[in-house]
Amino acid sequence: MISRPTCTALALCAAALPISAHAATELNALIWCDHADPALLEPFEQAHDVRINVKEYQGTAEALTILEQSRPGDWDLLVIDAVDVGRAVERDVLAPLPAEALPTTDFFPELVMASHNTKDGVTYAVTDKFGYNTLAYDKTKVDPADMTSLKSLWSGKYAGRIGIYDYYLPSLGLVGIAEGIPTAELGGDNIEKLREPLMALKKDTKLVADVVGSQTALATGEVDILLGGGEYLTATLHAENPNLEWIIPEEGAALWAESIAVLKDAGNPELALEFVKYVTSPEGQARLATSSCYWGMPANAKAGEHLTDEQKAVLRWDEQAEFLKRAQLYPIPSAEDDAAMQDLWTDMLQN
Amino acid sequence: MSIERLERRQGAALVAPALIWTIAFFVLPFAAMIWMSLTHMEGRQVVNEPGFGNYLRIFTDPSLFRGIVVSLEITSIVTVLSVILAWPLAWIIATRVPERWRRLALLLAVLPFWTSYVVRSYSWALVLGENGIVMQSLIQIGLLDTPIQIMATRAATIIGFVHFFVMLLTLTIYSNLVQLSPNYARAAEDLGASRWQVIRLVILPLTLPGVVTGAFLTFVLCMGDYITPQILGGNSELTLPQLIMLQLGRRGDYPMASALAVVLMVLVTLAYAGCARWLKMERV
């Protein structure tokens, strides 16, 4: 007969076994929520006998602070706004990537974004997903013809039915686009030119919310139009409410793009690079594009081979060439302009 | 060694763990936060040159100062409403509900604590929305023609908070009420006091320690809460914790976030000082 303490010890060992059996190695990734989808992670984990631990963060400043306060080796991978890769390179937290090992030749050309992902000829990150901060709306409650112009938001017709996505860069970019200021020129004195239209828009706005809040507001009919919303908000709701739509207005939209990078002090740089290769491969890209948290276009054009026709229709795959022509990249402000833009955004929220 | 010295040493040894704990986990982090609040940002770098620039900005920048005003307004309204609702509830449970049902009543009172704070806030967002049960019911019974906006307003934040804190206050007031000897009420009634006079002039004053303890907890928790105003307030105005999160998550401005956190701490300390008379343990 086995004694009770022995039984307990055996039970504890048995409970511990599956963990050690499954997790020969671990990768730790600082990510946005779409990269936490098990449908994306599990195939890689099984293929490489690795466990991927993910931590979601909200803004680049937060991610950089987490990295600064961590020990070397704590983090292997970083998913970051493509326009902020330069900030991470400045902080010297990213490891160079072997450009030849990355499938960028299969990418939509606009999404290679070498000017952001490389510095002095060295590649530090690679784009893995993109989309548009634009207008999302319920086509049964809004005249779709009105949505072809951003100016409709200031017409008063939709007062109290508008929501704003709470991320100052794309949303200010869109206000600038509506005012005829290209996002690339959004800095210095141009920032103050946004104050009046922004405050006017706030008066007609019902709420300013993050991704989940925006999605909930659109889904529950709390708002009918969302400035800053795009396919990433409506795609996951499409099955439940096919009336939700998005459009790139005639003035244009703000292009968002995520990049993935290996951290300089990664504990397991080889495996981290393998993960980057996986995520940018056609299969990985298709899984990332249709992640349960939010959908977005894959940077790798070959991902289309792994998406269904219905998925491509929701992503509006065939219209991308035209969309990309009309989209402008997020503003990339200097530290001073960034502070001014955030001050303006705080004023808007508080008034 | 004299007995006195031995006792002093024993006393010091007994106090030492608590003292070390307090220094390590309160005094040092708080000192670091105060130091950080005195530094400032230049571009994206923290500059370690002490000054009061952040504090000056908090009280001169209308957007930041408004955060303090909004927080104090919301917290005051929530505290008052919660006390007004919780006292009768606690009194009913303590004096009117038969003893065999009292446990169930208390269980129902604390039930909201069993659900996640975030889930509860999102549930309120669905309830208070234009298509939520409140608006649709008011329209169905003919009180409203079209829905009015509650969600994404200060009212939604207050409703969410009051729902949570009424339960907390009910418990603190109830624990105070059940400790009161029924002889006080009997004595007052024998002297000719009406039931209302007994409640107003005898029971209510005697439960003040419980009320103030609960109100202080409500003030502290409400003042420092980020989730409810973020989810239910719709960013129509920002409270102090939201401003702190904005500095941390978006700007990486730790000096300003620290200065705002110190202001928050000072406000809580002032609230404590205001309630100190009733918060003394022997009176609770």
Q: What is the DSSP string of A253-303?
A: EEEEEEEEEEBTT-SSHHHHHHHHHHHHSHHHHHHHHT-SS---EESBGGG
Which chain A residues are closer than 8 Å to B125 by Cβ?
216
Q: Write the pLDDT tens digit of every residue in A2-16.
A: 444 444 444 444 444
Which chain A residues are closer than 8 Å to B122 by Cβ?
216
Decide if pLDDT at B218 tops 70. yes
Helix and strand element counts for chain B (H, E): 15, 2
* Average pLDDT of the segment spanning A184-205: 96
Nearest CA to CA, how far is A204 from chain B (Å)?
12
Decide if pLDDT at A288 tops 90. yes
Q: ipTM surpassing 0.95, yes or no? A: no
Of A97-111, A209-223, B174-188, which range is least confident?
A209-223
Q: Is A93 exposed, middle or buried (0-12, 13-18, 19+ CB in 10 A)?
A: buried
Which chain A residues are closer than 8 Å to B60 by Cβ?
none
CB nearest to A209's CB, from B44, B234, B243: B234
Nearest CA to CA, how far is A216 from chain B (Å)?
9
d(Cα A7, Cα A284) in Å, to the nearest integer?
44
* Average pLDDT of the segment spanning A192-198: 97
Q: Does A69 touch chain B (CB under 8 A)?
A: no
Domains observed in chain A: 25-130+257-318 (3.40.190.10), 131-254+328-350 (3.40.190.10)
Decide if pLDDT at B281 tops 60. no
* Average pLDDT of the segment spanning A34-60: 95
Pick from B57, B127, B235, B240 the residue to mutate for testing the A interface (most A CBs within 10 Å): B235
Of A293-307, A317-331, B111-125, B201-215, which range is least confident?
B111-125
Task: Copy the structure tokens of residue A217.
Answer: 């507001």
DSSP string, A123-165: E--EEEEEEEEEEEEETTTS-TTGGG-GGGGGSSTTTTSEEEE
CB nearest to B235's CB, from A166, A220, A347: A166
Decide if pLDDT at A108 tops 50. yes
Which chain B residues are closer than 8 Å to A216 by Cβ?
122, 125-126
Nearest CA to CA, how far is A209 from chain B (Å)?
6
Mean pLDDT score of chain A: 91
pLDDT at position A192, please? 96
* Average pLDDT of the segment spanning A85-91: 93
Percent of chain A exceeding pLDDT 70 equals: 93
Decide if pLDDT at A80 tops 90. yes
Check the CA dihedral A59-A65-A66-A67 and report its sign: positive
Q: Which residue is it, tokens 């709306």?
A: A137
Nearest CA to CA, how far is B231 from chain A (Å)?
7
- Cβ separation A213–B231 shorter than 8 A: yes
Nearest CA to CA, how far is B252 from chain A (Å)?
5
CB nearest to B66's CB, from A222, A339, A350: A350
Q: Which residue numbers of B have CB closer than 8 Å to A's CBs?
A: 41, 43-44, 62-64, 66-67, 122, 125-126, 129-132, 149, 151-152, 231, 234-238, 243, 246, 248-252, 254
Give the global pTM. 0.83
Q: What is the DSSP letter of B149?
A: P
CB nearest to A206's CB, from B43, B149, B231: B149
* Average pLDDT of the segment spanning B11-33: 94
- pLDDT higher at A228 or A231: A228
Q: What is the DSSP letter of A122?
A: E
CB nearest to B250's CB, from A61, A206, A217: A61
Of A73-77, A208-212, A243-247, which range is least confident?
A208-212
Which of B51-60, B113-122, B248-257: highest mean pLDDT?
B51-60
Decide if pLDDT at B125 tops 90. no
d(Cα B132, Cα B152) in Å, to the nearest integer?
13
Decide if pLDDT at A241 tops 50. yes
Q: Smallest Cα–Cα separation from B168: which of B94, B90, B73?
A: B90
Q: Which residues contact A32 (CB under 8 A, 6 or more apart)?
A: A56, A57, A79, A258, A293
Decide if pLDDT at B237 tops 80. yes
* Alpha-carbon B178 to chain mean position: 23
Task: Copy the structure tokens of residue B19.
Answer: 């003292």
pLDDT at position A9, please? 47
Q: Does A56 touch chain B (CB under 8 A)?
A: no
CB nearest to A209's CB, from B64, B235, B252: B235
Q: Report the chain A residue with the minimal C-alpha distance to residue B121.
A: A213
* Average pLDDT of the segment spanning A212-233: 88
Which chain A residues are closer than 8 Å to B148 by Cβ?
none
Which chain A residues are closer than 8 Å to B249 by Cβ?
58-59, 61-62
- Cβ separation B250–A342 shorter than 8 A: yes
Of A227-241, A299-313, B227-241, which range is least confident?
A227-241
pLDDT at position A1, please? 40
Percent of chain B exceeding pLDDT 70 equals: 98
- Cβ separation B152–A207 shorter than 8 A: yes
Nearest CA to CA, how far is B85 from chain A (Å)?
29
Q: Does A339 touch chain B (CB under 8 A)?
A: yes
- Cβ separation A349–B231 shorter than 8 A: no
Across the strands, what pairs with A113?
none
- Cβ separation A346–B63 shorter than 8 A: yes
Q: Does A350 touch chain B (CB under 8 A)?
A: yes
Mean pLDDT score of chain B: 91
Chain A, 186-215: which have a CB under 8 Å from a chain B CB?
Answer: 206-209, 213
CB nearest to A206's CB, from B234, B249, B251: B234
pLDDT band with cut points at 50, 70 and 90 for residue A24:
low
* Average pLDDT of the segment spanning A220-247: 88
- Cβ separation B44–A335 shorter than 8 A: yes
Alpha-carbon distances, residue B159 vs A252, B71, B128, B180 (angstroms) = 40, 15, 9, 31
- Cβ separation B249–A220 shorter than 8 A: no
pLDDT band with cut points at 50, 70 and 90 for residue B1:
low
Q: Does A70 touch chain B (CB under 8 A)?
A: no
pLDDT at position A234, please? 87
Q: Report the chain A residue with the minimal C-alpha distance to residue B43.
A: A335
* Average pLDDT of the segment spanning B6-29: 93
pLDDT at position A6, please? 46
Q: Write the pLDDT tens digit of every residue in B141-173.
A: 999 998 889 989 999 999 999 999 998 899 999
Q: Does A73 touch chain B (CB under 8 A)?
A: no
Decide if pLDDT at B67 tops 80. yes
